[in-house]
Structure 1
Amino acid sequence: MSENTLKWFYLLVLSLIWGSSFILMKKALIGVTPFQLGALRTVMTALILFTVGLKYVKTIDKPAWKWIALTGIFGSFIPAFLFAIAETEIDSAIASILNSLVPLQTILVGFAVFQMTSTKRQILGVILGFIGTALLVVEGADLNPHQNYLYAGYIILATVMYAFNVNMIKSHLQHLKPLTIATGNYVVILIPALIVLVWTGFFKPASFQQPELKMALMYIFILSFFGTALAKVLFNKLIRISTPVFASSVTYVMPIVALTWGVLDGEGFSALQGFASVIILLGVYLANKRA
Structure 2
Amino acid sequence: MKNPNIKWIYLIILSIIWGSSFILIKKSLLGLTPYQLGALRTIITGIILLIAGFYSLKEIPKDKWKWLFISGLLGSFIPAFFFAIAETEIDSAVTSILNSLVPLNTILLGFAVFKISSTKRQVLGVIIGFIGTAILITKGSELNPNQNYYYAIFVIASTLMYATNVNIIKRYLQDVRPLAIATGNYVFILIPALIVLFFTDFFKTETFEHPEFINSIIFVIILSVFGTAMAKVIFNKLVQISTPVFASSVTYIMPVVALIWGILDGESFSLIQGLATLLILAGVYLSHRRIKR
Q: What TM-score comes out, normalization by structure 1 length?
A: 0.99
Counterpart in 2 of 1:237?
A: 237
Question: How many Å separate the matches in 2 of 1:61 and 1:205?
Answer: 45
Letter in 2 for 1:113: V
Equivalent residue for 2:180?
180
Partners in 2 of 1:205 and 1:267 — Cα distance? 32
CA–CA distance in structure 2, aligned partners of residues 239 and 76 of structure 1: 16
1:22 alignment partner in structure 2: 22
Match of 1:78 in 2: 78
Matching residue's letter, 1:253: I
Query: Is 2:125 the counterpart of 1:143?
Result: no
Where do 1:5-84 residues align within 5 Å? 5-84=5-84
CA contact (8 A) 1:3 1:241 kept: no
Q: Distance in 2 between matches of 1:276 and 1:174?
A: 35
Letter in 2 for 1:153: I
1:196 matched residue in structure 2: 196
What CA deviation, in whole Å up to 9, does each residue of 1:187-218 have, x standing for no partner?
A: 10000000000010112233222221110000
Q: What is the match of residue 227 of structure 1? A: 227
Letter in 2 for 1:277: T
Q: Percentage identity across aligned positions?
A: 64
Deviation at 1:58, TM superposition (A): 1.6
Report the Cα distance in structure 2 between the residues aligned to 1:76 and 1:4, rounded to whole angstroms. Answer: 29
Q: Contact between 1:83 and 1:154, CA under 8 Å: does it hold in 2? A: yes
| Aligned 8 A contact 1:42 1:189 in 2 | yes
Paired amino acid for 1:43:
I
8 Å Cα contact 1:64-1:172 kept in structure 2: yes
What is the DSSP-based 3-state SS (H/G/I as helix, E as strand, rest coil) of the residue aligned with 2:61?
coil
Q: Which residue of 2 aligns with 1:251?
A: 251
* Alpha-carbon RMSD: 0.8
Q: Secondary structure at the match of 1:36?
A: helix
CA distance in 1, matches of 2:210, 2:150: 30
Structure 1 ranges of 4+ moved more than 6 A: none
Correspondence 1:265-284 to 2 at 5 A: 265-284=265-284
Bigger CA drift: 54-63 or 271-280? 54-63
| Unaligned residue ranges in structure 1 (runs of 5+) | none
SS in 1 for 2:62: coil
For normalisation by structure 2, the TM-score amounts to 0.98
Q: Deviations over 1:34-87 (max 9, x none)?
A: 001000000000111111101111221111110000000000000000000000
CA separation in 1, counterparts of 2:101 and 2:139?
17
Give CA-to-partner distance per residue, 1:245-271, whole Å, 9 cap, x none: 000000000000000000000000000
Cα distance in structure 2, aligned partners of 1:85 and 1:206: 21
Q: Distance in 2 between matches of 1:206 and 1:152?
A: 30
SS of match in other structure, 2:32: coil
**Which residue pairs with 2:288 in the alignment?**
288
Structural mapping, 1:113-132, within 5 Å: 113-132=113-132
Shift of 1:4: 2.1
Partner amino acid, structure 2, of 1:42: T
- Give the match for residue 99 of structure 1: 99
